[in-house]
A and B are shown apart, each in its own frame.
Chain A
Amino acid sequence: MVDSAYGPLSPFAAMPASAGTGEGVVAGEREGLGIARITARNRQLAALEQLVHKRLHLALPAGPRRMRSGDLAAAGVGPECWLMTCESAGNAFAAGLRDSIGGHAAVVDLSDAYVMLRLAGARVREALAKLVPVDLHERSFQVDDVAQTVAEHMAVTLWRLEDTGRGEAAFELSVGRSFAQSLYRAVHDSAAEFGFVFETR
């Protein structure tokens, strides 16, 4: 039974949607994403890698990198531990993964635990430089590089996407849901001088 009144809530509904002039930094919320943390069971790493490769057609990356295959992606966030995402799959993603690879990995649904912002634009690196102590130069932080770091005392996960069609850098920045408004405010303020726009669907 699905009740229309029982719906998800975006934490950004009441936040200011733009600042400054121009579109130096364009942000959007990655809604509906299925997010799961998978941790290999003891001494099951090789088996897990094989299984993921066979069933999901994805090679689990070693280290802080992200691998993609269709709607699926896996980002290395710790030893034998990944954050997997699946477009539009929501909470069902983790349930499906559990059925598929649960014998070799602990699968935990974190679709609600994180709020993920997609940030792109000609000035996005300059805005992010005010937030995270990570070298985001294109040679240092390449497409699909992953960083777990802090932004204004909030634990965040950051990865780089392919450049946009306009050749501008793009990133995804995740934070615990309870921090969403605080992080949004920090991004908003940091990007304001370059022109900040939050796009809602």
Chain B
Amino acid sequence: MSSHRLAGEGAIQRDQTLSFTFDRRGYTGHPGDTLASALLASGVRLLGRSFKYHRPRGVLGAGSEEPNALVELRTGARREPNTRATMIELFEGLAARSQNRWPCLAFDAAAVNSVLSRLFVAGFYYKTFMWPAACWEKLYEPAIRRAAGLGRASGEADPDTYEKAHAFCDLLVIGGGPAGLAAALTAARPGARVILCDEDFLLGGRLNGDRHRIGGESGALWARRSEAELRSLPEVRLLTRTTVFGVYDGNTFAALERVSDHVPVPRPHQPRQRLWKIVARRAVLAAGALERSIVFGGNDRPGVMLASAVRTYVNRFRVAPGRRIAVFTACDDGWQTAFDLIEARLDVPVIVDARRDPPPALCAQARRLGVRIMPGALVFGTRGGAGLEGIEVRGEEGHVSRVRADTLAVAGGWSPNTALSTHLGGRARWSEAIGAHVPADLPPGMIAVGAASGELSLAGALRTGAAAGREAAGSAGFDAPLEQWRTEEEPVGSARLWSVPGCRGKAFVDYQHDVTVEDIALAVREGFRSAEHLKRYTTLGMGTDQGKSSQLTGQALLAALTQREPAEVGTITARPPYTAVAIGALAARARGAQFKPCRLTPSHRWAEERGAVFVDAGEWRRARWFPLTGEADWRSTVAREVAGVRTGVGICDVSTLGKIDVQGADAGAFLDRIYANMISTLSVGRARYGVMLREDGIVLDDGTVARLQECHFLLSTSTVHAGRVMRHLAHARQVLWPQLDVQLASVTEQWAQIAIAGPRSRELLARVLGDALEVAGAAFAYLACAQFLWHGRPARLFRISFCGELGYELAVPARYGEAAVRALMAAGGTLGVVPYGTEALGVMRIEKGHAAGAEINGTSTAADLGLGRLVSARKDFIGRVLAARPGLAAAERPALIGLAPLDRRARLSTGAHLLPAGAPATLSHDEGFVSSTAYSPTLKHWIGLGFLSRGRERLGERMRAYDPLRGEDVQVEIAHPVFYDPAGERVRS
């Protein structure tokens, strides 16, 4: 392995050596290297294969716009495909592999695609795989899936963590090149809060890759000193390895910080990556410009590189990309690459400038350095295999010459990096002056500076950066002097050269997606004239690089082929993210057990001790049942719990139900308008069942209302609708009737509420409450409620029941919920008290025909649910008018009914359709459906609730419960929905 490492300083630490592997072969590099620079230093030029034709590809650039040098980084669960070798910071033990090749990088079987390229023209997906349709599943899709995509995901769970963070500042500087540093320094010196983000690990941008001088020192040194000064300022946050990838409304920016991508394994408690949400008063877009290649035959051969990248490898990394480096340029900047190469004592055989008259000063300097110049000439072909060996040049007069070169530095001109300026819908504007699009119509608060704004010279970058920094500081109330830095004005002239006519070999516009100039011509022949359509049809500008190095060239070629100006064709709208963002970073902590917050009931720890099985119900985690050893399955557990309640006493934590405290002189009147039934007539110390409607007449929720005092009510809501009902009430209070004296507060979290149900519940309560409250029959009748002190703490008791037995709900402050449950269990030992979970609760409510979430489902009216008699005709309330709409009051509406299988051994399933007995299973015979089912341990057979058209008139009718999804077809009898104690004697006992 020959070393391409040059002498001299650069920005690498030569005193340390790092070992790494590429395709299992060992190499070395230094801290400060990227994988690309270290591989180039070791003479490795073939890094991957292209997407479609599997052509050999090397490194094109030196930044995040890299289309070619994509590798799989790391191994095992940390393997990550499509990482850009130009962005991977070298670390000890790094392991990378080439991708998109089989069996190996040097010989790739799929390279035959290149020979078959006629088949793979633009839009080939749309053309080739059209028919026969039968071939799709078996042939086309598997073939496409095998060929498509780049690299392989690890297929294992990501072992690292990710996190999100918020940041706020007066000024966000996007890009840490000269313009960005100038803006940051100017604003930060007087004290403004500044955040500067740069995707590189080294601040300075082009100052590190070029040999500029600022104020008598090298540009790279100026960048180091500026960085040091910024770091010393308390209100400045420098985020290197951080890409601002999205702009959003409200001056909000998204940025991805690669916290641990440059180390083998994240340090303890450090995330792999951090997603920043940054809110900035002002933003400075100093994202620089991206150099374009030129389209000519064989321009994708490894060794053909962007001229600025060649310069960066030489100056920053002290790596010679080749031994003999020719330059092909259409702009002044390309010459600087030649001069830097000569300064580094590298052989530059020729500078080919497409322009007839390059600036005389540049020509003179080249002659002085002894470099051959070919003005007005064009490179039209390249020679070599998997690496460049020579170029073919057509001179001004048409004569062809061949030049031996192992590297070609191509300078097609610079395109301002406008991506972030268009994220909120702004359009970039064509600038005739620089022959590229520049930001226009920027997001609010954003200023573009330096090369990103089309100011391609260093002097322009420093000047516009400082001015923007001053403006931003001023808007935050800091008076900043306009900083000035001394630098020379370099020539920035450029010609418009997009592609070379009369090429030999394939000429690529988009390297990553293998889009050639012929593909664009074909798209135009087929009628595509818009830049957006061109992108979709040819895939130009898609993929991981999103065409950063190719987009403009493709659009310019489209313009030329359709006899239009580039300004007329315009450009595409870039959308977030600017570069690829891992899903893991967007999810951050929200994965696994932390996927969402989990609400625990006051008795959770006790339930865990009892070995409860839990179920996630919305945000809550509730005990589903409490199995005992020896129980065969959950159904026997639930049957035992139900029987325990029906014959003895059981307790259940029902704290999850919503509780809303309503106070005020007009509280009763307010609740009359909220509920469909009358509330204001309720006596103090009594509770009532209530149902509330939405404005459109559909049932919103049901629950109980207790009148604790004359002007103090307590509402209960279903668990799921707690938040929604609170919002509904708050809206009514604040917007509909602000004149009413009503105060609302959610007290769901304040009270632990324990249901105590069963014929022996009174006995249990009497034991537990002692003298605190008298619960004997007449003293505390059905639907009574009371506030009292228990153990010196506030407590409340309600005689309400969901399960149909004599029952109570005891409320204690949430901190004491577990203690209350333990006290009940202890006192109930001799009564055989059973704890029961949500499943038994569900079974018992179905036995009692109580509607729950499956019935109050956003389509049912009070009448549908059999609650029509509750709806008051003596008052107005929310939903009254619209509930009277013909459709909602129609006689054939579905009504809540009960059902039981004729064959008592048959099971019922939720979702089954109700069809008349003997009728065929077609939609026209569908008369209703089954909403809830359960095996009733009390009745010893399955029962269900459902909705049936005119259901209440059809009790006793036999129907089919038809469930094609589960292949079930059961004969059922329509019954009254209340299966258990229809007279309601038990709750009143």
User: A residues touching B (Cβ–Cβ < 8 Å)?
Assistant: 1-3, 5-9, 11, 13-14, 19-20, 37, 39-42, 91, 95, 105-106, 108-114, 129-130, 132-135, 137, 140, 152-154, 176-183, 185-186, 189-190, 192-193
Residue of A nearest to B823 (CB): A6
**B residues less than 8 Å from A190 (CB atoms):** 163
Known contacts A106-B745, A129-B167, A137-B193; decide if A113 and B750 are in contact (CB<8 Å): yes
* Interface contact B599-A135, CB-CB below 8 Å: no
In the complex, A5→B817 CA distance in Å? 12
Output the nearest chain B residue to A183 by Cβ-Cβ distance: B597
Our count of residue pairs bridging A and B at CB distance below 8 angstroms stands at 150
Contact B268 A112 (CB under 8 A): no
Known: A133-B277, A135-B279, A178-B599. Is A5-B166 also a contact (CB below 8 A)? no
Q: Which residues in A have their C-beta under 8 angstroms from that of B163?
A: 130, 189-190
Query: In the complex the two chains form, is B596's CB within 8 Å of A153's CB?
Result: yes
Point out the residue from A8, A106, A133, A185 that lies within 8 Å of B663, measured CB to CB: A106
Contact of A20 among B268, B599, B818 (CB under 8 A): B268
23 contacts between A and B (CB under 8 A): A1-B791, A5-B822, A6-B823, A39-B744, A40-B743, A42-B665, A42-B742, A91-B793, A91-B813, A108-B747, A109-B750, A110-B747, A110-B750, A112-B750, A112-B813, A130-B165, A137-B193, A152-B589, A176-B749, A177-B814, A178-B600, A189-B594, A193-B269
Contact B597 A152 (CB under 8 A): yes
Docked-complex contact A135 and B168, CB < 8 angstroms:
yes
| B interface with A by C-beta (< 8 Å) | 161, 163-168, 193, 268-270, 277, 279, 589-590, 594, 596-602, 605, 620, 655, 661, 663-666, 739-745, 747-752, 770-772, 791-794, 813-820, 822-823
Q: Within the complex, what minimum Cβ distance (angstroms) separates A186 from chain B? A: 7
Interface pair A2/B792, CB less than 8 Å apart: yes
B223 to chain A, nearest CB (A): 27
Q: Which residues of B contact A39 (CB under 8 A)?
A: 663, 743-745
Q: Which of A9, A41, A130 has its CB near the most chain B CB atoms (within 10 A)?
A: A9
Question: Chain B contacts of A178 at CB under 8 A?
Answer: 599-602, 620, 655, 749
Cα–Cα distance between A132 and B794 once the two chains are bound (Å): 34
Q: Which residues of A contact B822 (CB under 8 A)?
A: 5
Report the separation of the CA atoms of residues A91 and B819 in the bound assembly, to the nearest whole angstrom. Answer: 16
Q: Which residues of B contact A185 (CB under 8 A)?
A: 594
Q: Are B741 and A9 in contact (CB under 8 A)?
A: no
**A108 — which chain B residues lie within 8 A by C-beta?**
661, 663, 745, 747, 750
Q: Whole-angstrom distance between the alpha carbons of A103 and B822 in the complex?
A: 38
Q: Within the complex, which residue of A6, A37, A114 is in contact with B816, where a contact is CB–CB below 8 Å?
A: A6
Question: Shortest Cβ distance from B267 into chain A, in angstroms?
Answer: 8
Closest to B815 in A: A8
Chain A residue at minimum C-beta to C-beta distance from B662: A106
Distance between Cα atoms of A190 and B165 in the complex (Å): 9
Q: How far is the CB of B193 from chain A (nearest CB, A)?
A: 7
A5 and B819 within 8 A (CB) = yes
Quick check: A7 and B819 within 8 Å, CB to CB? yes
Given contacts A1-B771, A112-B815, 12 further A-B contacts (CB under 8 A): A2-B791, A6-B791, A6-B823, A7-B819, A39-B663, A42-B740, A95-B794, A110-B750, A112-B750, A129-B166, A135-B168, A176-B749
How many Å from the CB of A123 to the closest CB on chain B?
12
Report the bound CA distance from A110 to B659 in whole Å. Answer: 12
- CB pair B747–A181 under 8 Å, yes or no, is no
Assess A134 versus B166: contact at CB under 8 Å? Given A2-B791, A109-B750, A153-B596.
Answer: yes
> Which of A1, A14, A19, A183 has most chain B Cβ within 10 Å?
A1
What is the chain A residue whose CB lies nearest that of B739? A42
Task: Let me know if A109 and B794 touch, CB within 8 A.
Answer: yes
Give every chain A residue within 8 A of B605 (Cβ-Cβ): 9, 13-14
